[in-house]
């Protein structure tokens, strides 16, 4: 490939490390001369005119969409549905009167997402594509495009595209909220700066992440990720990352859902990676950890500073609560990376997978 790994053993590690720079690049790319974050007025008008937004994506981009829904609903107060592209085409929900479609796709070439785009354009609706690849199919065929500015992502496991998607979605939500005159806006440029700095610190914590991977994941058959609200969505992404490169059967669950069945799988030593970055659910997620520990699980709690307790394995630096997914995902990416290494897996090119899935 033209893109060099440099001194890195794998593209995935290089791309994980690039994340703070990507966030800074995005802030720069979306700033106007006065330093305010801004988005093309046509896109903001389309957002403001929509009575409901439908986010369509697959895999990691779908997981970014789940977080993006929270950004848009909490900041811009527009209802959002998030759909897996491959389900949407054949099982379309009843649409609102003035829908806006947002396609999230790193490659801009995912066939399942394209099939939905073709369908909604035929129905006469507007579409915005958020992609890393200018000129990609999903970008060309949509009405509007927002770029991720993440640079080429080579590793099959998506890392920097996910955090870039979250950053761009937060900007879209916040700028829309500002244009609607809502008070739910935040000083996003400043907050994303804090995120980038916090990412720097996490990327320097590689030894700790390798130790966690060794301790929890070097021989296990399965692993569970739990969290509530935003942490749940990050857990879904963490579990996808882990399963695709380490082949450990990993599943993400809402903290409260495990006890409705899956807790039957907990055995002595089953690793449970729990995220605790959200104040409103801090006590309840810790309650869920106690439930699984009582069945023998081996808990690895990753919390955010200010919410931590003595039992936590790793404490993340404080960022704005809504933006916590941008930092909490980094330990999960690194833990997955080291778990795959310890298990002698091909990190950059896992079996059975292609970088972009261009068949339906
Ligand atoms: C991510 O680690 C995966 N390899 C995969 O889920 C990916 O996110 C999915 O195929 C969607 O790709 P896209 O963002 O290029 O549309």
Residues 6+ apart with CB under 8 A from 76: 47, 173, 174, 176, 177, 180, 182, 184
**17-34 pLDDT tens trace:** 999 999 999 999 999 999
**CB of 278 closer than 6 A to ligand 1?**
no
**CB of 156 closer than 6 A to ligand 1?**
yes
- Asked if the model's pLDDT at residue 356 lies above 90, the reply is no
pLDDT at 353: 79
- Asked if the model's pLDDT at residue 155 lies above 80, the reply is yes
pLDDT at 355: 79
For residues 75 and 173, the answer to whether their CB atoms sit within 8 Å is: yes
Pocket test for ligand 1, best of 134, 158, 241, 348 (most atoms within 8 A of CB): 158
**CB of 56 closer than 6 A to ligand 1?**
no
Atom 4 of ligand 1, residue of closest alpha carbon: 157
CA–CA separation, 251 and 266 (whole Å): 12
**CB of 131 closer than 6 A to ligand 1?**
no
Give the mean pLDDT of 234-250.
97
- Asked if the model's pLDDT at residue 243 lies above 70, the reply is yes
Confidence of residue 1 (pLDDT cuts 50, 70, 90): low
State the closest ligand 1 atom to the C-alpha of 355, by its place in the atom list counted from 1: 4
By C-alpha distance, which of 301, 311, 250, 293 is closest to 274?
A: 301
pLDDT at 6: 86
CA–CA separation, 44 and 41 (whole Å): 5
Give the mean pLDDT of 334-356.
88
State the closest ligand 1 atom to the C-alpha of 107, by its place in the atom list counted from 1: 15
pLDDT at 90: 84
Confidence of residue 349 (pLDDT cuts 50, 70, 90): confident
Range of weakest confidence among 15-19, 304-308, 324-328, 354-358: 354-358
CA–CA separation, 300 and 215 (whole Å): 10
Pocket test for ligand 1, best of 15, 60, 350, 354 (most atoms within 8 A of CB): 60
State the closest ligand 1 atom to the C-alpha of 156, by its place in the atom list counted from 1: 4
**296-312 pLDDT tens trace:** 999 999 999 999 999 99
**269-304 pLDDT tens trace:** 999 999 999 999 999 999 999 999 999 999 999 999
**CB of 106 closer than 6 A to ligand 1?**
yes
Confidence of residue 2 (pLDDT cuts 50, 70, 90): low
**CB of 165 closer than 6 A to ligand 1?**
no
Confidence of residue 262 (pLDDT cuts 50, 70, 90): confident
**CB of 356 closer than 6 A to ligand 1?**
yes
**188-201 pLDDT tens trace:** 999 999 999 999 99
Q: In what order do the strands lie in the sheet with 298-304?
A: 249-254, 222-227, 271-276, 298-304, 314-316
State the closest ligand 1 atom to the C-alpha of 357, by its place in the atom list counted from 1: 10
pLDDT at 145: 98
**CB of 288 closer than 6 A to ligand 1?**
no
- Asked if the model's pLDDT at residue 215 lies above 90, the reply is yes
Atom 5 of ligand 1, residue of closest alpha carbon: 59
CB atoms within 10 A of CB 357: 17
**83-135 pLDDT tens trace:** 999 999 889 999 999 999 999 999 999 999 999 999 999 999 999 999 999 99
Residues 6+ apart with CB under 8 A from 261: none
Q: What is the ipTM of this complex?
A: 0.98
Ligand 1 centroid to Cα of residue 33, in Å, is 34
């Amino acid at each position: 490939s033209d893109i060099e790994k440099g001194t890195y053993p794998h593209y995935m590690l290089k791309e994980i490390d690039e994340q703070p720079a990507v966030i800074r690049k995005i802030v720069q790319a979306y700033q106007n001369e006065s330093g305010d974050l801004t988005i093309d007025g046509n896109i903001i008008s389309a957002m403001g005119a929509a009575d409901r937004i439908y986010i369509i994506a697959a895999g990691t981009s779908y997981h970014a969409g789940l977080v993006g829904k929270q950004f848009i609903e909490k900041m811009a107060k527009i209802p959002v549905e998030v759909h897996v592209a491959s389900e949407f085409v054949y099982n379309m929900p009843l649409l609102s009167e003035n829908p806006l479609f947002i396609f999230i796709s790193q490659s801009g070439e995912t066939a399942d997402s394209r099939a939905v785009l073709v369908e909604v354009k035929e129905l006469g609706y507007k579409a915005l594509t958020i992609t890393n690849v200018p000129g990609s199919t999903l970008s060309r065929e949509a009405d509007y495009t927002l770029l991720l500015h993440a640079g080429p992502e080579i590793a099959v496991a998506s890392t920097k595209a996910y955090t870039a998607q979250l950053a761009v979605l937060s900007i879209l939500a916040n700028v829309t909220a500002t244009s609607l005159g809502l008070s739910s806006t935040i000083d996003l440029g400043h907050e994303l700066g804090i995120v980038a700095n916090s990412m720097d610190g996490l990327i320097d914590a590689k030894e700790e992440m390798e130790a966690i991977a060794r301790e929890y994941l070097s021989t296990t058959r399965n692993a569970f990720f739990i969290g509530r609200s935003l942490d749940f969505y990050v857990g879904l992404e963490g579990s996808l990352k882990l399963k695709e490169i380490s082949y450990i059967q990993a599943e993400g669950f809402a903290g409260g859902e495990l006890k409705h069945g899956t807790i039957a799988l907990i055995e002595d030593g089953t690793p449970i990676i729990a995220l605790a970055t959200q104040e409103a659910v801090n006590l309840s997620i810790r309650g869920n950890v106690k439930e699984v520990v009582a069945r023998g699980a081996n808990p690895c709690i990753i919390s955010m500073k200010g919410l931590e307790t003595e039992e936590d394995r790793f404490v993340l630096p404080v960022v704005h609560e809504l933006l916590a997914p941008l930092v909490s995902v980094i330990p999960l990416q690194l833990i997955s990376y080291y778990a795959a290494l310890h298990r002698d897996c091909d990190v950059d090119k896992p079996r059975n997978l292609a970088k972009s899935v261009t068949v339906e």
